[in-house]
Amino acid sequence: MASLGWSVMLRGNDGTEITLQAVQPSTGTATAQEGQSYWHLDLVLIAQQEPGESSFVVDQNETNLATDLLQSLFEQDLSHSTFLRLLFSAEAGTIIRPDFLSYRLQGCEDAYHVTGFLTPLASVAATSPEQAINITTKEDFLSLLQSSVGGVIAHSTNPKDTLQALRARLDNEFTKRLSIPWTVPQRLTQKRVFWVQGRANIEASRQFYQAARALGITLVVLDESGHWLEDDAGPHSHYREAFLPVSIAADEGLTQRIVDAVRAYPHPVNGVVCISDVRLPLVARACEILGLSTSSSAAYLRAGNKGVSREIEAAASGEEDGFVLQTAEELEAALAEKRKGLRYPLIVKPCTGWNSDCVVKVRDEGELRAAVKRASDRHAASAARSTSVVIEPYIDGPEIDANFIVLDGEVLFCDVTDDFPCSADIPGMDGSKAANFMETLMDVPSALPDEERAMMRDSLAKSIARLGFESGVFHCEARVRGSRAYYAVDPDDGILDLRVREDVSAEAPSCYLHEVNARPPGYINCVAALLAHGVDYYAIRLLLSLGPEEDARVRALSKPFLHGVPQYTLGISVLAPTKAGVMGSVDAVKEFLEANPDLERHVVHYQTVKEKGEVVQGPESSELWCIGYVIVASRKGRKECLRLDREIRERFTYKLMDD
């Protein structure tokens, strides 16, 4: 470890002093072809200054840039290797978002404290390691600190861990995690976006609002009067510039209400964003009228209608995989024509819908008639006024979720996740009242064979294009037909997981599309993508609403960790209801985790859906509401992740008011 020959004596507000020794700066580029050219300076916490080194004293209050970061240095144990790493850009430009360092390093075990020093849309100066090498005064150091983009305190938890080993590990993490350009060459300006439907609460939307602030986007929220963001003095009002009480009912009038609100607003509006399936075509039509960037409203209409998307897929494949009824009364004529060709089980679902609501697996004609009637009635009286129904084959291959970021027809990022079997997939359960297609567990990354994962990616990208989309964030659900993979229980530990057959079937695996949702996945999945891959779907969706001038930031922020390798295996555990009543727990998931610390230490995020006083539907209810979600993480691999998920779901309990 080569010293630069100078050190900083940092004096705290209480008079405490610590010594930081500067070592030779290191340079790097995240990848050979792209990424940021950068360098970093490490300041090592030492017990005392080495003889012959120059030093200077810096009072903690002399810089307001890194107060929290520097304060945490005083809390460190000198018996454990500790250093402060300051990060610098070798390229000038505008920062893509000032918190890139903290969210890309989230989960890095050696990063004790991470702080970004910049503000949204800040200019970044090009600096060189020579500026650190040539420091001779306190003023030189403070000037250098002002040009840093952020800092990381690395701290070893093991007293036997050497400083060299700690630095090498952080070097490796920097290479993997900072594999994106942090800056763009052009100047960026503050933009304003209307956000239609502000979501249910902050816990189900915090990542979206934080992304907007970091990107330099001012939000104006449109939602019903009484929404939690309406109060200008509310605890989260700082996330928006204004709240406009507007009916967001998904009727034909929504388009005009949005247009009127934008035109009446006293400041320029640069984009409109919504992630509610039923409202997407109506919001897109408003953007078309206003001349704002959007995918076509016709594409959103096609994606939102499962019947239309099924017919588009059938036309592309040349095979009639299923059929569409406009009303339940059309079933008799369809049966007269197709009865001999029907192969049970079949899937029946409304053409409009979400969360697998009213999706039923039927085993015979009697069940088919009942399911069609129920699916047709489901949205007949809603704003959508849809009575159409899709009937399609039940595909028993593995189900996956695939999330895409697409720009001008190019897939920038694709995340394929295993969607574990639902109760309706389990033999013997499909005829029970409790059988449904509510998700149980989603595992990141998928364990499908590599060639099947690539096939699904390519096939679904074509499905997105066929609907008429060129750019966007998309959440696709599909199954692999003819897969070599299948779910089986391990006889040794009882864990259900994918197994792969060694033999190759005569028929090549193919993709069977369930649906394309032209918006980011659900909130818990967006959190999982940020944790596993360092990709923020909400940030991308916001930037896409601003048009081509934000393409550079879209490309930069769509890059996952190096080589697309997630930092750990994640399992999203869906905590299903086990009993019906009125929720008695203030925060059922939090209380459960606190009571089970052996599981809590593996949990990187949780979300509680059912709050105290809300009605909890029982396990046999047709309404598919869960109690909450838990994201478990394993650095050891899939086996441990699945074991943790099983433990959580088996142990999870909650209190009802009557308990």
Within 10 A of 537 (CB to CB), how many other CB atoms are there?
30
Counted residue by residue, the chain has a size of 659
What pTM was computed for the model? 0.94
Using the predicted structure, report yes or no on whether residue 196 has a pLDDT greater than 90.
yes
Using the predicted structure, report yes or no on whether residue 339 has a pLDDT greater than 90.
no
Nearest one of 393, 539, 412 to 464, comparing CA atoms: 412
Whether the bond between 345 and the residue before it is cis, its omega within 30 degrees of 0, is: yes
Q: Which two tokens mark 462?
A: 């074509």
pLDDT of residue 656: 96
Cβ atoms of residues 435 and 424 within 8 Å:
yes
pLDDT of residue 133: 93
Q: Which two tokens mark 636?
A: 């050891």
pLDDT of residue 23: 95
Q: How far is CA 68 from CA 79, 151, 153, 212, in A?
A: 22, 11, 11, 23
Task: Pick the range with the lowest mean pLDDT from 135-139, 147-151, 618-622.
Answer: 618-622
Using the predicted structure, report yes or no on whether residue 430 has a pLDDT greater than 60.
no
Positive or negative: CA dihedral 199, 201, 206, 210: positive
Positive or negative: CA dihedral 168, 170, 171, 175: positive
Confidence of residue 426 (pLDDT cuts 50, 70, 90): low
Residue-wise over 422-443: b if at least 16 C-beta within 10 A, else e? Answer: bbbbeeeebeeeebbbbbbbbb
pLDDT of residue 658: 86
Using the predicted structure, report yes or no on whether residue 437 has a pLDDT greater than 70.
no
Using the predicted structure, report yes or no on whether residue 172 has a pLDDT greater than 70.
yes
Backbone angles phi, psi at 57, to 5 degrees: -100, 130
pLDDT of residue 62: 84
Residue-wise over 258-293: b if at least 16 C-beta within 10 A, else e? Answer: bbebbeeeeeebbbbbbbebbbbbbbbbbbbebebb
pLDDT of residue 322: 86
3-state secondary structure of 623: coil
> Exposure of 399 by Cβ count < 10 A (0-12 exposed, 13-18 middle, 19+ buried)?
buried
Instruction: Looking at 323-380, list the stretches that DSSP marks H as alpha helix, in order from N- to C-terminal side.
Output: 331-338, 365-378
DSSP letters along 45-81, please? EESSPPTT-EEEEEEGGG-SSSHHHHHHHTT--TTS-
pLDDT of residue 32: 45
Distance, CA of 385 to CA of 239 (rounded, Å): 35
DSSP letters along 513-559, please? EEEEESS---HHHHHHHHHHH---HHHHHHHHTT-GGGHHHHHHHT-
Domains contained in the chain, CATH given: 3-184 (no CATH), 191-294 (3.40.50.20), 395-567 (3.30.470.20), 568-659 (3.30.470.20)
Distance, CA of 561 to CA of 11 (rounded, Å): 37
The greatest distance separating any two alpha carbons of the chain, rounded to the nearest whole angstrom, comes to: 96
pLDDT of residue 433: 53
pLDDT of residue 541: 99
pLDDT of residue 315: 93
- Give per-residue pLDDT as tens, 272-297: 999 999 999 999 999 999 999 999 99
Per-chain mean pLDDT for the chain: 92
- Give per-residue pLDDT as tens, 361-417: 999 999 999 999 988 888 776 766 788 999 999 999 999 999 999 999 999 999 999
Using the predicted structure, report yes or no on whether residue 434 has a pLDDT greater than 60.
no
The single residue listed with the structure tokens 């093991």 is: 158
pLDDT of residue 506: 67
Q: Which two tokens mark 223?
A: 């939602």
Using the predicted structure, report yes or no on whether residue 37 has a pLDDT greater than 70.
yes
Using the predicted structure, report yes or no on whether residue 118 has a pLDDT greater than 50.
yes
Please state whether beta strands 26-29 and 3-11 pair in parallel, antiparallel, or not at all (unpaired): unpaired
Distance, CA of 338 to CA of 365 (rounded, Å): 12
Q: How far is CA 39 from CA 69, 144, 147, 328, 556, in A?
A: 19, 13, 12, 66, 19
pLDDT of residue 264: 99
pLDDT of residue 175: 93
